[in-house]
Amino acid sequence: MKILLSIILLSLSTLSLADDQKKNNMMMFSMFTNPAGQDMKEMEAFLLKSANDNEERGYNRCGVYKHRRVGSSRSAYMYCYFNDYNQWAKIEDIRDSESGTAGNKQMFSDHTDHLLGMAESNLKPDPKYVLLVRSTFGSYLTGNERSQKAKQFHDYYENSFGGCNLMEHLWGPEIGYYTVCGFENYKEFAKAMEIFNQSDILEQKLDLLEHSDEILIRVDN
Least confident of 15-29, 112-126, 175-189: 15-29
Residue, of 22 and 161, whose pLDDT is higher? 161
> What whole-number distance in Å separates Cα of residue 119 and Cα of residue 178?
10
- Are 199 and 156 within 8 A, CB to CB? yes
- 19 confidence band (pLDDT: 50, 70, 90): very low
Fold of 24-218: Alpha-Beta Plaits (3.30.70)
Residue, of 95 and 15, whose pLDDT is higher? 95
Boundaries of every domain in the chain: 24-218
Counting beta carbons within 10 angstroms of the beta carbon of residue 203, is it exposed (0 to 12), middle (13 to 18) or buried (19 or more)?
exposed
pLDDT digits (tens, 9 = 90+) for 192-221: 999 999 999 999 999 999 999 999 999 997
70 φ, ψ to 5°?
Answer: 65, 140
- Residue 131's identity, in one-letter code, is L
Least confident of 60-74, 121-135, 148-162, 179-193: 60-74
Average pLDDT, the chain: 88
In the prediction, which pLDDT does 9 show? 41
State the pTM of this model.
0.85
Question: Which residues are 31's β-sheet partners?
Answer: 77, 112
